[in-house]
Amino acid sequence: MSKNITLWRVENEYGSGPYNGTGSIHEFLWGNYWRCGFDDWRCPRPWKDKELSKIFATEAEFTTKKELRSAFSTAQQYQDWFSTEFVRNALDATGFFLTRYDIEAENVHLGYRQSLFDPQNATISAIGFCNRPEIITSRDQIEDDFIERFLERTLIDCSI
């Protein structure tokens, strides 16, 4: 039996991350590249992450894995990636939040700066905010309609 690990994913009510999918803010983030604190060392693409590149040597190898989603294995990884208050506030203002997933370690590709996983193999166990410390662990704590819509729409197991 594999041990469970926790991952934190930045996503919106559609399950999309800030860089692609419905509601992404990719253009805004990269248009404010320096205000966001991004650089290739802090925010490498998966095939350039020093651990993930052992699995995905090229962008082409990575893009064949459409089911994989990016996440962070620690709060520190999240804070290192989205390192400025400006970007964390922008994520919050545009409807992004942190979803805590519990997943068996064998179903995760742990990277140096980020991790990759298939959310269909995970369970949602909490919701957090991009710029606030509160953590939601039960449905009666939800005050945001977009989070409620996310939980209603998702096909992923949910324990909150």
Span 4-44, pLDDT tens digits: 999 999 999 999 999 999 999 999 988 887 788 888 778 89
For the chain, percent of residues with pLDDT exceeding 90: 80
Q: What type of residue sits at position 39?
A: D
H or E, element range at 71: strand 69-71
Residue 159 included in any domain: no
User: Can you give the residue range of the structural domain that contains 25?
Assistant: 4-145
Residue 154 included in any domain: no
Mean residue pLDDT of the chain comes to 93
- Would you say the pTM of this structure is higher than 0.85? yes
The residues, ordered by sequence, that sit 6+ positions from 131 with a Cβ below 8 Å of its Cβ are: 85, 88, 89, 91, 92
Residue 153 included in any domain: no
User: The tokens of 56 are what?
Assistant: 């995905």
Residue 157 included in any domain: no
Give the number of domains in the chain.
1
Whether pLDDT at 2 is above 80: no
The residues, ordered by sequence, that sit 6+ positions from 6 with a Cβ below 8 Å of its Cβ are: 73, 100, 101, 102, 125
User: The tokens of 34 are what?
Assistant: 């320096």
| 153: number of Cβ within 10 Å | 11
Task: Enter the DSSP assignment of 3.
Answer: P
Whole-angstrom Cα distance, residue 45 to residue 25?
A: 17
User: The tokens of 131 are what?
Assistant: 């710029």
Residue 158 included in any domain: no
Q: Give me the torsion for CA of 32, 34, 35, 41, rounded to 10°.
A: 110
Whole-angstrom Cα distance, residue 36 to residue 82?
A: 7
Digit-coded pLDDT (tens) for 83-118: 999 999 999 999 999 999 999 999 999 999 999 999
Residue 152 included in any domain: no
Residue 11 included in any domain: yes
